[in-house]
Amino acid sequence: MLTRIDHIGIACFDLDKTVEFYRATYGFEVFHTEVNEEQGVREAMLKINETSDGGASYLQLLEPTREDSAVGKWLAKNGEGVHHIAFGTEDVLGDSEAIRGKGVRVLYDQPRTGSMGSSITFLHPKDCHGVLTELVTSNPDH
Name the pLDDT band for 142 (thresholds 50, 70, 90): low
Strand-pair partners of 121: 135
Q: Which domains are assigned to the chain?
A: 1-82+92-135 (3.10.180.10)
| Cβ 87 vs Cβ 135: under 8 Å | yes
Quote the CA–CA distance of 140 and 56 in Å, as a whole number: 11
Name the pTM for this structure. Answer: 0.92
48: helix, coil or strand?
Answer: strand
pLDDT digits (tens, 9 = 90+) for 4-45: 999 999 999 999 999 999 999 999 999 999 999 999 999 999
| CB neighbour burial string for 15-33, b if at least 16 within 10 angstroms, e if fewer | beebbeebeeeeebeebee
Quote the CA–CA distance of 57 and 48 in Å, as a whole number: 5
- Is 7 a catalytic site residue? yes
- Is 34 a catalytic site residue? no
User: Which is the catalytic residue, given 7, 39, 63, 83?
Assistant: 7
State the CB neighbour count (10 A cutoff) for residue 121.
25
pLDDT at 56 over 90: no
- Is 60 a catalytic site residue? yes
In Å, the largest CA–CA distance within the chain is 44
pLDDT digits (tens, 9 = 90+) for 102-120: 999 999 999 999 999 999 9
Phi, psi dihedrals of residue 127, rounded to the nearest 5°: -95, -5
Predicted pLDDT at 60:
98
Q: How many residues does the chain have?
A: 142
